[in-house]
Amino acid sequence: MTIDNNRAIAAAVVAMAGFNGVFLSANGLFMLIDPLTWYELVPGVTDTGFFNQHFIRDIGMIQLFLGVAFVLGMLVPERRIGLWAAATAWLSAHALFHFWEVAVGICSPSVLPRDFPAVTLPAILGIVLTLWAIRRSRSGQPVAA
């Protein structure tokens, strides 16, 4: 691989981890600070049940922790695999749950594209990032991007 390819890959890794870190942290903070506004503004949330500030704040804490895990993984490369894998496990389970709801008829398939940016995309990015970090570690390459 050339230096230019390595730089492009490093830039892509930083962009993906940065997106997950910033998006998840910001969403978590929003859920913690103003759960009612979050509930009313996020498309599709009002279709999932009544407003429950406690539940929204619980999930907000999870979202914040996930975002911090992606940021810490960028900053502390020797902890990257564990941080990203743990966060990705939750994100993947959450995305699969959305697909399950469609599969069993709880939701229509139209929810999948609507939910993609906030639910499925972070899981996909987490999977790509975690696999990249594992591959890099196994190949003996330096852990930094």
User: Mean pLDDT over residues 30-38, rounded?
Assistant: 98
Is a pLDDT exceeding 80 seen at residue 9?
yes
* Measured CA angle at 114 (ends 109, 118), to 5 deg: 125
pLDDT at 30: 98
All structural domains of the chain with their residue ranges: 3-138
Give yes or no for residue 144 having a pLDDT over 80. no
Task: Write out pLDDT tens, residues 64-109.
Answer: 999 999 999 999 999 999 999 999 999 999 999 999 999 999 999 9
Exposed, middle or buried by CB within 10 Å (0-12, 13-18, 19+), for 113?
Answer: exposed
Residue 6 pLDDT more than 90?
A: no
- C-alpha to C-alpha distance for 28 and 30, rounded to whole angstroms: 5
H or E stretch including 125? helix 121-138
The pTM assigned to this predicted structure is: 0.91
Q: Which of 53, 55, 58, 47 is nearest to 35 (CA)?
A: 53
